[in-house]
A = this chain, B = another copy of it.
Amino acid sequence: METPRELFQIMTRRLGLLNKDCCSVGGCNLSATQSHLLYEIDRSHNPSMQQVAETLGTDITTFSRQVQSLVKMNLVNKTPDPTDRRIYNLSLTPEGKMVATTIDHQMNAYLNEAFSHMSEFEVETLLRSIKLFNEAMGKSSNCCAPVKG
């Protein structure tokens, strides 16, 4: 029987490759990091830079530059917060939204392809299990905890 770590290691390696492959949308060629960034902005409501950086576990200075390049690519808006001018709120441009959606579709398509090798029941069980696992990690006091989600 494999250890939990083995199972997760292999799964994350594969999902990592998947993630890399799913980042090319039309002309845009995003890195996996940038894709995560878009994803996170998309699902939050006008988050501040600090917030997103913390969620993703990246240094704020690195994050600052990543945002700059996404703004330059016209995928992300960086608007000053009206109530606190230290803060910048992030949102997706229409183009960014489209890219994020496309990536989402691609990822889901790939996943569904993999799911086609499993029974419907197995897929349901898998998804329910992962949901529980995510919640469990959220409750954990360890490194993976600060990431809300």
Interface 1/0 per residue, A1-16 and B, CB below 8 Å: 0111111111111111
Interface of A is mostly: helix
B-facing residues in A133-149 (Cβ within 8 Å): 133-137, 139-144, 147, 149
By a CB distance below 8 angstroms, the chain B residues around A113 are 140-142
| Contact flag A17-B144 (CB < 8 Å), given A9-B39, A111-B4 | yes
Interface size class of A (residues with CB under 8 A): 35 or more
Q: Which of A3, A15, A20 has most B Cβ within 10 Å?
A: A15
User: Contact at B139–A117, with CB atoms within 8 Å?
Assistant: yes
A64 at the interface (CB under 8 A from B): no
A56 at the interface (CB under 8 A from B): yes
